[in-house]
Chain A
Amino acid sequence: MSSVSESVTKDALPIAVSVNGVTKIYPGGVEALNDMTIQFPKGELTSLLGPSGCGKTTLLKIIAGLLAPTSGNVTVNGQPVTGPGKERAFVFQDFALMPWASVLRNAAFGLELQGVPKSERNAIAEKHIEAVGLKGYESLFPHELSGGMRQRVGLARALAVNAEVLLMDEPFSAVDEQTRRKFQEDLLEVVADEEKTFIFVTHSIEEAVYVSQSIALLLPRPSRVSEIIRPDIRRDISPDAIRRDPVYLDIVERIWQSLRTYVE
């Protein structure tokens, strides 16, 4: 297990997002997060991985400013989060595309809400639609696209606002397995190309190990960060070779051993 280093504190990477002692109790008394502290290094993709009920999505929505923590705080580039911000963009599990708007308008919608003039925002959106591989589909409506293509529109919308931090809430869970694999490969390219920080919620161990520079393993009851794993798998080999790489398989197995006691 020499390829797995246990800690991020040794790294010199600056911190983009810092979650400090965050507790979230929903109205009705359900405790989703309890004194959670975790840091996300700049320019990396960090996965939040854990069984359902461990508060991954709650944590992501608190970072997004969509939910207020009951106590504790979140800072992005040192600035405390009080609500949604320009430096963060969200990719939704159910895509959250507007069915009445074309691919182009959906991808440009973040800019539209910011008041960017139409020609300018469309030009920016077209560039990102091309980057996610949907060139030629600009005038179609979401219901004319497959699930995988819809999430590409969701990703283009998030990239178009040029936020430093991308928050992805199980973005591939509503996408079929083949599309999902292709999407994971494409995501790696996006992460390499864009100098952005990605926080990626998933419940798939393989997905987390494949796409992440670092994995925060969350455990429920009480919810906590059990460990941070850096899967230093080789990226210079083909995607199929990675999926057969013993290092990759060892990490998947090790995470499964940690999680299995929590799965009913």
Chain B
Amino acid sequence: MKSFFINPLILRLLSVVIAFGIWEYLGRIPISPAFPTFLQTMSALGGMIADGSMLAVYPATFQPLLIGLIISSILGIGCGVFMGLNAKAEWFGAPVFIILQSAPLAALIPLLTFAYGIGLTSKILTVCIMAMPVIVLNAYSAVRHTPTSMIEMGRSYLGSSRQIILKIIIPSASPVIYAGLRLGAAMGFIGAILAELLITPTGIGDLITYNQSIAEYDKMYAAIFSIMVFAVIFIEILERTEYIFFRPDKRVTQ
């Protein structure tokens, strides 16, 4: 019985059940007429999936999100690794990204709209400015913290700079780079929704604002809930790819 309660899967399930239970309870008090219960939200979600209105909006949201995340990942890891390897690039780049990471970037969205209009470009850029700083800074700091003895090992066994970077520094940095990617992806989801709420209502953002305006709160929460589920699944998949491609040792301990 004791081992049943310390089983990690059971514990995770339990925490989810407790959170949803509290949601259901608060919805039933009710704390606000605009706050539906968990079960109402789920039934609205079921209805929206069944009539197709939910899945129909996702392509519009995922397009800027995925393009933005791919650009941020490639550019971000590239910049970060380069900054970690090259002191001049570090002096040049680190302050910019540190400021970007701590600045309230949502405030830049009107500026992007002025410059690039209300189309896809602005939304992709919103995802990028949200996701990139954390990806860059994590990649940079991961590369900088490669154990010295590991690099010395590569040098003493006659590894070329290219071999040392590809076979030692990148795999050694991959856990922290991936942590940055996961945080970046989470920020990217926020960026995509922000863009849909602040620039033009499309996709899931439209579903949220529209249902809010006609006081269909259960549908509004169902839309918010669905994007959260997608974000969690996406980040989980990202984590798996790390184990498969870079860190087979971690699969052993899982």
Contacts and interface: CB of A to CB of B under 8 A. Distances in A.
Interface of A: 61, 64-66, 83-86, 88-90, 92-94, 96, 98-102, 109-110, 112-114, 141-144, 157, 161
Contact of A100 (B153, B157, B247): B247
Contacts of B152: 61, 66, 90, 92, 96
A90 B249 contact: no
Between A61, A90, A100, A101, the greatest number of chain B beta carbons within 10 A of the residue's beta carbon is seen for: A100
B252 A144 contact: yes
Interface in B167-222: 167-168, 171-172, 174
Contacts of A61: 152
A100 B156 contact: no
**Interface SS, B side:** helix
Contacts of B8: none
A98 B172 contact: yes
A75 to B, nearest CB: 18
A113 B149 contact: no
Contacts of A157: 157
B110 interface: no
B155 to A, nearest CB: 5
Between A61, A66, A102, A144, the greatest number of chain B beta carbons within 10 A of the residue's beta carbon is seen for: A66
Contacts of B249: 99-101, 141-143
A89 B158 CA distance: 10
A216 B149 CA distance: 25
19 contacts: A61-B152, A66-B155, A66-B156, A83-B155, A84-B156, A86-B158, A89-B157, A94-B147, A96-B147, A96-B149, A96-B152, A98-B171, A100-B174, A100-B247, A100-B249, A109-B167, A142-B249, A143-B249, A157-B157
Contacts of B163: 113
Contacts of B159: 113
Given A96-B147, A96-B149, A64 B157 contact: no
B27 interface: no
B246 interface: yes
A143 B156 contact: no
A34 B253 CA distance: 48
Nearest to A93: B149
B246 A90 contact: no
Contacts of B168: 98
B17 interface: no
B93 interface: no
Which 5 A/B pairs are nearest by Cβ-Cβ distance? A96-B153, A110-B157, A141-B249, A90-B156, A96-B149
B247 A113 contact: no
A115 to B, nearest CB: 9
A174 B168 CA distance: 22
Contacts of B52: none
Interface in B124-182: 147, 149-150, 152-160, 163, 167-168, 171-172, 174
Contacts of B171: 98, 100
Contact of B149 (A84, A88, A94, A101): A94
A143 B250 CA distance: 10
